[in-house]
Structure 1
C-alpha cells in the first residue's frame, strides 16, 4: 500500500474508466425512461411526473444510507446486490405499467427502483479519490484530484445527456419499453462489473491493513460549506427535471412526446463539450467564480427558452442552456471533492447525486402537473427559476468562502491544508515519532 510515481490510470487499469462510465448510464436513464414509458402508455404527463418523482424519492432516501454503508463495508459488498436488484426491478417495470389499472403499483415499483439505484458515479469518484490519497505521492495528489473531478463531472454530464438521448432514440425506433429494458441489462452487467473491478481492492486492502482514514462524524456533512453544494446540485436537478418535462409537453403539442428525449439531447451537445473543456481552464479562474459565471449563462438561456414559441427557437436555447449547465455541474462536484469530510467521500458524493435525482424527479412532477392543466408556457418558465436559484446559491457560497478564508484553515491528516476555494498547498506533515 505504499505510494509510488505511477499515474492514476496505471493503478486503476484502462478498463476501469469505460466500465465506470457505462455503469452510470442506467442511473441517467431511469427518470427519463420512466417518464417516457408512463406518458406513452397512459397518455398522462402528470402521472409520468409523479412516477419520476417516486424514483427520486427512493434515491434520496437510500442515497445517504448506501453511501454510509460503502464507507463502512466497501463498495463490492454493497454494489453487487444493489446492481442485481435494480436490474430486476427495471425489467419488471414495463410489465407493471402495462397491466396495472391503478397508479399505486406503478408508483411502488418506481420507488423501489430509486431505493435500489447503485449511484455508480458517486462510487467512481469515491474510489478514485481513495486511490489518489493511498497510492499517489503527496505532490501528485492536488493536480490529479482536480483533473479527476473535472473528468468525473464531465462523464456525469455526458451520461446525463446520452441517457435521455438513448431513451428518445430507443423509444422512437423500437418501443417505449425498450429504454427501460436496456437500462435493466446495463445495471445487471456493468454495475456488477464495476463493483467487482480490481481497483476496488485497494480500499479494501487499506481497511484490512489499518491504513484507511479515520471517519469524520456525520455532523460534518451538515456544515454550511457542504450543504450549499447539496442545495446547488438540487437546483441543477430542478433545472433538468423542469426542462425535460416542459419539453415533453411542448413536444406533445407539436407531435409525439417521445421526441422530447431527442430534443433534450441537444442541450447536452454544448454541455458535454464544455464540461470536458473545464479541465483546460486556468487555475486562476477560481471555482467560486466559475460557479457564478456559468450560472448566469444557465439562467439567461433558460429565460430565452421560456420565451421561445417555435421549435427552432427552442433548439437554439437548448444548445445555449447546455453551455451553462455542464460546467456548473463540473464546478459543484469539483468543490465537493475538496470539501468532503475525512472518510466520508462516498457519503458526500451520494448526497449530491441524490439531491440531483430527487430534484429532477420533483421538478418533473410539478412541471407535469402544470403542463397537464394546459399551461405549457408556465411550465417552460420553471427552468429559469431553477437557474436563478443556482446563481443565488453561488453568491451564498461566495459569502461563505470570504467568511472561512478569514478563519484558520483546518489541516488534513495527509499534511495538506485545504481552504474552501478548493486550493491545496502542502504543509509539513506532523511528526510520527
Structure 2
C-alpha cells in the first residue's frame, strides 16, 4: 500500500487551498448576506412600508431557494466556475439596478419581481466553499487527520457564514445610516461582481470532481431520506430563528424610536454566535455531534424564551448574547452532520439545499414576523424566535434517538 510522502500528508489545509482562498470566500459571502436585509431596508426607506419590505425580502429568499439546489446540482455536474461566473455577474448587475426600480414610480409587483430575480442569481458561495473544502480534505489530507481537519473546517465555514450574516446586516445598517438607503445594495453589487468572480475562478474550484470524472451520482431521492431531511427541518428552524429575531428586534427598537439600532443589536447576537461557532473546533471529540446538537438547542430554546419576555433594551441585549451562544454551535453541528450524511457525489447539492432552507426560512419568518409586529403587537412577534428554537430542539431530540442507527449503517463520507 502506497503511503503519501509525510511532508504532503501533514501540510495544513491552508497549504492546499492557498492563502487567499479563505479571505476571498468570506468576502464573496457578503453580497448574499447583504441582499435580504439591504432590500428590506431600501424598500422600507423609499416606499415607507415595513410589510412591503418584509415581502420583498421574502421574494429574494424565494428566488434563492428555487435556484439554490439547481445551481448546486449544476455545479456537481459541470464544475463550480461554469456556474458561478455567470450567476455572480448577473447578480451584481441586478443588484445595481434595484435602487432605480424601487425609486421609480413602478408598481409594487415589479419591485417584487426584481427581488425574485436577485434571489434567483444569488451566488451560493457558502455551499460551494464547503464542498471545495470537503473535497480537498478527502483528497489531500492524511486519513488519520481527516476527521479533526473536517471538524475544524466545518466550524470555520459556519463561523464564516455566521459572521457574514452579522457583518452583512451591520454593514447595511451602517451604509444606510451614513450614506443613503441605496448605498448597501450598490456595495453588495460591487462585491458580487468582484469577489464572487474571484472565488469562482480560484484554483480550488477544480478540486471538486465533476460528474463526468466521478461516475455515479446518488439519485436525488437520497436527499429525501430521514437522516438528511431531519437536518433540513432543523436548519429551517435556525433560519426562522434568524429571521424572526432580526425582524422582531427591528420592531422592538422602532417602538423605541431607533429602528436602525435593530441591525446593530442583532450584530451583538451574531458576534457571540460566530465566536462560539469557531470554538466548536476545540470541543473534545467524545462530545459527539448528536449530544452537541441537543445541548446547544436547549440553550437556544431557553434564551429565546427569555427574549420573548422582552423588557428593557439592556435585558434584550444580554439575552441576545446567550442566543448567539446557542445558535452558532447548533448551525455548525448541523452542517457537520450534513457533511457526513451527504449522498455520494451530491455534496454541493446537499450543502445548497441546507443553505437554501436557511435562507427561505429566514425570509419567510421575516415577512410573517414583520406582519405580526405591524398588525398584532411587537410582544407577539417576539414569541416567534422561541417557536423556531423549539423546531431545532425537536429535531435534535429525534437525531439523538436515531443517529446511532442512521450513521452506523453507512460509511462516513470522510475518512
Is TM more than 0.5 here?
yes
1:191-210 to 2 correspondence within 5 Å? Answer: 191-203=196-208, 210=213
Selected match of 2:260 from 258, 261, 264: 258
* Residue 32 in structure 1 maps to residue 30 in structure 2: no
- 1:135 is matched with 140
Q: CA shift at 1:214, angstroms?
A: 3.2
Distance 1:25 1:234 in 2: 21
- 2:71 is matched with 66
* Residue 409 in structure 1 maps to residue 393 in structure 2: no
- 2:281 is matched with 279
Residue 190 of structure 2 aligns to a residue whose secondary structure is: helix
Distance 1:245 1:94 in 2: 22
Q: CA shift at 1:257, angstroms?
A: 2.1
Q: CA shift at 1:151, angstroms?
A: 1.0
* Residue 339 in structure 1 maps to residue 344 in structure 2: no
Deviations 1:90-141 (A, max 9, x none): 1111111111442101100111111111110000001111122222333332
Distance 1:170 1:366 in 2: 26
1:45-194 to 2 correspondence within 5 Å? Answer: 45-194=50-199
Q: CA shift at 1:269, angstroms?
A: 2.1
Moved more, 297-306 or 115-124: 297-306
Distance 1:202 1:249 in 2: 45
Residue 199 of structure 1 aligns to a residue whose secondary structure is: helix
Q: CA shift at 1:403, angstroms?
A: 3.6
Deviations 1:295-340 (A, max 9, x none): 1111111111111122112111111111111111111111111111
Q: CA shift at 1:237, angstroms?
A: 0.4
Contact 2:273-2:325 at 8 Å conserved across structures: yes
Residue 354 of structure 1 aligns to a residue whose secondary structure is: helix
* Residue 376 in structure 1 maps to residue 378 in structure 2: yes
**Structure 1: segments with no counterpart, 5+ residues:** 411-416, 427-433
- 1:315 is matched with 317
Moved more, 72-81 or 257-266: 257-266
Distance 1:77 1:316 in 2: 45
Distance 1:346 1:297 in 2: 30
Contact 1:295-1:324 at 8 Å conserved across structures: yes
- 2:249 is matched with 247
- 1:360 is matched with 362
Distance 2:96 2:136 in 1: 34
Residue 176 of structure 1 aligns to a residue whose secondary structure is: coil
Q: CA shift at 1:201, angstroms?
A: 2.3
Q: CA shift at 1:369, angstroms?
A: 0.8
**Structure 2: segments with no counterpart, 5+ residues:** none
- 1:414 is matched with none
Distance 2:237 2:215 in 1: 32
TM-score (norm 1): 0.91
Deviations 1:349-371 (A, max 9, x none): 00000000000000011111111
Residue 401 of structure 2 aligns to a residue whose secondary structure is: helix
Selected match of 2:235 from 233, 236, 253: 233
- 2:308 is matched with 306
Deviations 1:402-425 (A, max 9, x none): 4436xx623xxxxxx32xxx9x7x
Contact 2:251-2:259 at 8 Å conserved across structures: yes
- 2:219 is matched with 217
Moved more, 359-368 or 296-305: 296-305
TM-score (norm 2): 0.95
Contact 2:79-2:206 at 8 Å conserved across structures: no
Deviations 1:184-206 (A, max 9, x none): 111110000000011112336x7
* Residue 20 in structure 1 maps to residue 25 in structure 2: yes
Distance 1:285 1:32 in 2: 36
Selected match of 1:267 from 262, 266, 269: 269
Contact 1:291-1:331 at 8 Å conserved across structures: yes
Q: CA shift at 1:253, angstroms?
A: 1.0
* Residue 330 in structure 1 maps to residue 335 in structure 2: no
Q: CA shift at 1:213, angstroms?
A: 5.9
Moved more, 346-355 or 173-182: 173-182
Distance 2:76 2:402 in 1: 28
